[in-house]
């Protein structure tokens, strides 16, 4: 009997017809709802927030001017470009400039205005290479360093070091602002740290390019291009004017043989499903008025796609990741 059972034919598993696997729908989760744009709350929020944003833009525009009208005119009369003009002529045509800490120094010193902390820092593309650009603004107290200038300069170097960005220094500075020297020179993270960071980044093969525009002091024989190119050997290139200095800088960066390698996949950006200016009506300026932060996220992330996790736990905080289109 056992032999008969062993010999009896049994169905072969391979002969079974495979059933299609059933997956849950893979459509991306999307946030956001259509708002009642005519409601009194929305209109009040919108008007108040837009007024604040307009004020922010006005102040930013004033900061971008740099020093006083008189200081700018004096600077231009010497055949020099303004600091922001230098940056604009340095970066690749049509490319963006990501400025950092634009409001540094805003109303920080009671009796003095220090627009942008007396120094412009940001990331721009030069000859196809993303670089950290640090430019003194000589229309603000001769480009001298305030304590906040040092902080801003060091922060830019820190970002460059973390992201391996070549640094370009457009130097037009009168050195330290002496009334504030007690907060500029002595400590570990004060003025001397700038040169320490340059040495460290150079040792890590992160290029440091310095373009000294015109003279660093008034007298040519005390510190101009002729002295440093012919006698001291401190400088490598002789620039005839600002435009020539920027041209030489672009050539130097082009010959760095440096290419940034990204370990991420870059996808084209996509607009949210809802207009961004609706954020004014959602948030407003009344800090006692509640709003749904998911409506904010829906007007920021690409395609309003968002995968929320721990949605039912700690519901006073929304966490999640932006979903890709795929």
Cα of 295 vs its chain's centroid, Å: 26
Count of domains observed in the chain = 1
Nearest-CA neighbor of 117 among 96, 91, 135, 98?
135
Is residue 309 in some structural domain? no
Q: How many residues would you count in the chain?
A: 326
The larger pLDDT score, comparing residue 168 to residue 323, is at: 168
**280, 50 contact by CB (below 8 A):** yes
State the Cα–Cα distance between residues 95 and 125, nearest whole angstrom. 7
Arithmetic mean of pLDDT, 169-197 = 73
pLDDT of residue 180: 72
Q: Tell me the per-residue pLDDT of 206-233, one tens digit each, with 9 for 90 and over.
A: 887 876 655 444 444 445 677 777 777 7
Structure tokens at 324: 């890709």
pLDDT band with cut points at 50, 70 and 90 for residue 183: low
CATH number at residue 239: 3.90.226.10
Could you give the residue ranges of the DSSP H alpha helices within 115-236?
147-163, 192-203, 220-223, 225-227
Is residue 120 in some structural domain? yes
pLDDT at 74 over 70: yes
**164, 203 contact by CB (below 8 A):** no
- Residue that has been written with the tokens 């005839």 in this structure: 240
Arithmetic mean of pLDDT, 40-69 = 95
Q: Tell me the per-residue pLDDT of 246-283, one tens digit each, with 9 for 90 and over.
A: 999 999 999 988 777 777 788 888 999 999 999 999 99
**171: Cβ–Cβ under 8 A, 6 or more apart, which residues?**
136, 210, 211, 212, 213, 216
Is residue 1 in some structural domain? no
Instruction: Say how many Å lie between the first and final Cα of the chain, rounded.
Output: 60
Is residue 136 in some structural domain? yes
Is residue 285 in some structural domain? no
Phi and psi angles of residue 272, each rounded to the nearest 5 degrees, phi first = -65, 170
State the Cα–Cα distance between residues 96 and 88, nearest whole angstrom. 9
pLDDT of residue 64: 95
**295, 41 contact by CB (below 8 A):** no
pLDDT band with cut points at 50, 70 and 90 for residue 85: very high
Is residue 250 in some structural domain? yes
The larger pLDDT score, comparing residue 217 to residue 110, is at: 110
Is residue 131 in some structural domain? yes
Arithmetic mean of pLDDT, 297-307 = 92
Is residue 7 in some structural domain? no
State how beta strands 129-136 and 167-171 pair: parallel
pLDDT at 196 over 50: yes
The larger pLDDT score, comparing residue 142 to residue 65, is at: 65
pTM: 0.79
- E-strand ranges in 43-147 read 97-100, 119-126, 129-136
Range of the domain at 86: 79-254
pLDDT of residue 174: 73
pLDDT of residue 28: 62
Burial 68-88 (b: 16+ CB within 10 A, else e): eeebbeebeeeebbbbbebbe
pLDDT band with cut points at 50, 70 and 90 for residue 1: very low
Nearest-CA neighbor of 160 among 133, 126, 120, 193?
133
pLDDT of residue 24: 62
Burial 42-52 (b: 16+ CB within 10 A, else e): beebbebbeee
pLDDT of residue 220: 47
């Amino acid at each position: 009997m056992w032999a008969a059972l062993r010999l009896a034919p049994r169905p072969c598993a391979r002969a079974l017809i495979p059933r299609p696997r059933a997956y849950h729908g893979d459509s991306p989760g999307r946030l956001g709802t259509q708002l009642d744009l005519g409601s009194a709350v929305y209109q009040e929020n919108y008007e108040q927030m837009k007024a604040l944003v307009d004020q922010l833009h006005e102040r930013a525009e004033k900061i971008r001017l740099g020093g006083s009208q008189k200081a700018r005119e004096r600077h231009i009369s010497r055949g020099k470009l303004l600091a922001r003009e230098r940056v604009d002529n340095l970066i690749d045509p049509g490319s963006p400039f990501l400025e950092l800490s634009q409001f540094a120094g805003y109303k920080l010193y009671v009796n003095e205005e220090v627009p942008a902390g007396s120094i412009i820092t940001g990331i721009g593309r030069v000859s196809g290479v993303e670089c950290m650009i640090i430019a003194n603004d000589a229309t603000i107290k001769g480009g001298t360093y305030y304590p906040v200038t040092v902080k801003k300069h060091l922060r830019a170097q820190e970002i460059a070091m973390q992201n391996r960005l070549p640094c370009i220094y457009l130097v037009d500075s009168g050195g330290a602002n002496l009334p504030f020297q007690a907060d500029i020179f002595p400590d570990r993270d004060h003025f001397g740290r700038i040169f320490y960071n340059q040495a460290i980044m150079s040792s890590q093969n992160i290029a440091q390019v310095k373009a000294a525009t015109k003279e660093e002091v008034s007298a040519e024989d005390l510190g101009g291009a002729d002295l440093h190119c012919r006698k001291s050997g401190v400088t490598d290139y002789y620039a005839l004017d600002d435009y020539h200095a920027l041209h030489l800088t672009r050539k130097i960066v082009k010959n760095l043989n440096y290419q940034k390698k990204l370990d991420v996949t870059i996808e084209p950006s996509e607009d949210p499903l809802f207009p961004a200016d609706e954020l004014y009506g959602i948030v407003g300026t009344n800090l006692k008025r509640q709003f749904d932060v998911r409506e904010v996220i829906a007007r920021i992330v690409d395609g309003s796609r968002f995968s929320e996790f721990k949605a039912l736990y700690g519901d006073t905080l929304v966490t999640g990741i932006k979903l890709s289109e795929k």
